[in-house]
Amino acid sequence: MLVIKIWNYFKGYVIIRIKGLSLERLLNLALVEDIYLWNVKRLSNMEIEASVSIIGYNNLEELVNKTGCKIEIKERMGFPFLLERLKKRKMLGFGVLFFIIFTIFLSSMIWEVEIIGTEQISENEIIGILKNNDVKIGKFKKHIDKNQIQRAIFDKYDNISFLDIRTTGVKLILEIKEQDITLEKIDRTQPCNIVAGKKGVILKTVAKNGKALVEKGKIVEEGDILISGVMDSENSDESYLVHAEGEVLAQVRYSKTIEMPIIKHEKKETGKVYKQKGLKVKEKGIKFFAGDIPFENYIEEIDEKDIIKLRWPKINIPLKMITHIYREVELKEIKQDIDFLKKSAQLKAIEEINKELPNDSEIISKDAIYSVEDNILKAKITMEVIEDIGKIQTISD
């Protein structure tokens, strides 16, 4: 089917409308005469719309006259008509040709580097490794040695569990997964403190090793030391360092504010459509004969059809014809039910808060405050939970 579409595009075809009382007879005669019609749509009992090749259209005119129908061309499509328009605008034609050649040339290079997944490792360090391996902006993709880059990164970092290097368009993407540094993996001979990972009200402190510095009822901020790894010596005035361990339970507050419009605008199509044609190579595109969109409110659709695909090792350059379709819409205001909005906002806020809660946390209360301002419903949901807020912080010499 794709081959037929490409063939019809290069040969050229027209979208026609046929009116008359003998439409079924006309279609049967076209079938007998091997005139291929596609995308046939019945607009009414006396009118149809269809696509037909240029040769098929010339043959169809005779059948239309026999059956007493009327035929009109709605739109001319395909490469021959595009060339005809470009001949009238030679500068535009030269511009399109230059654009295609220039885009193909640029598409063979790297123009952006994206690093995904780094938290403990600095992106600047990864960029430095790439530069040391002669990978930089403007580098041809076929000259990039991915295996060499992987070896260089793995040699420098021991905490990388996964590394994927790939090119997408003009972008070089490095996806990295780092190993989590859990409590079990931290050297227990390393001196450390237990500090607050977030703000909360202390409920209980159990120091298994080290010295507890907070009591029940105290409000702590993120970063405050809860269990100190600095211990006082019983036999002298000197102090020594230990690996602090323990559990610090605190009451923590989470809040989320969700805004939802009371007046919702619904879009309804009027049936009016405006189209603009264009050419696209990868992510770059240009419109032909672009004009102002005649609608104030509209929905835009983009229809892409492959014209040709050029493929070489490590290079994929698809050439596509694109149609920008603008459908006019009317905006209709609908007032939503307040109670329904309150429930929806509350559920959404709770769902967002739950994403932040640790697995072993305990929810002790929920509270909701609603307000309306400028036709916007604001829902502030607050949850109080009990959780262990302690996290390890190593003590530097």
Nearest to 212 by CA among 236, 197, 193: 193
pLDDT tens readout for residues 240-293: 888 999 999 999 999 999 999 988 878 888 888 888 877 666 565 555 555 678
Residue 79 has pLDDT above 80, yes or no: no
Q: Which helix (H) or strand (E) holds 346?
A: helix 338-356
Tell me what pLDDT residue 288 has: 54
Neighbours of 67 (CB within 10 A): 17
How many angstroms separate the Cα of 342 from the Cα of each of 9, 35, 336, 382? 53, 61, 11, 14
Neighbours of 164 (CB within 10 A): 13
Residue found by looking up tokens 């450390």 in the block:
192
Tell me what pLDDT residue 381 has: 94
How many angstroms separate the Cα of 234 from the Cα of each of 193, 213, 364, 391? 20, 18, 42, 27
Q: Strand 284-288's sheet: what is its strand order?
A: 284-288, 263-281, 315-335, 298-312
pLDDT tens readout for residues 127-137: 888 888 888 88
Tell me what pLDDT residue 248 has: 93
Tell me what pLDDT residue 89 has: 62
For the record, the structure tokens of 332 come out as 């209709």
pLDDT tens readout for residues 10-60: 778 889 998 888 888 888 888 888 888 888 888 888 888 988 888 888 888
Residue 313 has pLDDT above 70, yes or no: no
HSE-up of residue 321 (Cα within 13 Å, Cβ side):
14
Tell me what pLDDT residue 9 has: 73
Q: What is the mean pLDDT of residues 86-110?
A: 70
Q: What is the mean pLDDT of residues 194-220?
A: 93
**Rounded CA separation 42/35 (Å):** 18
Residue-range domains of the chain with CATH? 2-82 (3.30.70.2280), 112-178 (3.10.20.310), 187-251 (no CATH), 256-262+336-387 (no CATH), 266-331 (no CATH)
Residue found by looking up tokens 């189209």 in the block:
275
Residue 70 has pLDDT above 80, yes or no: yes
Residue 184 has pLDDT above 50, yes or no: no
Residue found by looking up tokens 């009992």 in the block:
45
Average pLDDT, the chain: 82
Of 179 and 243, which is predicted with more confidence? Answer: 243
Q: Is 197 exposed, middle or buried (0-12, 13-18, 19+ CB in 10 A)?
A: buried
Q: What is the mean pLDDT of residues 323-352?
A: 88
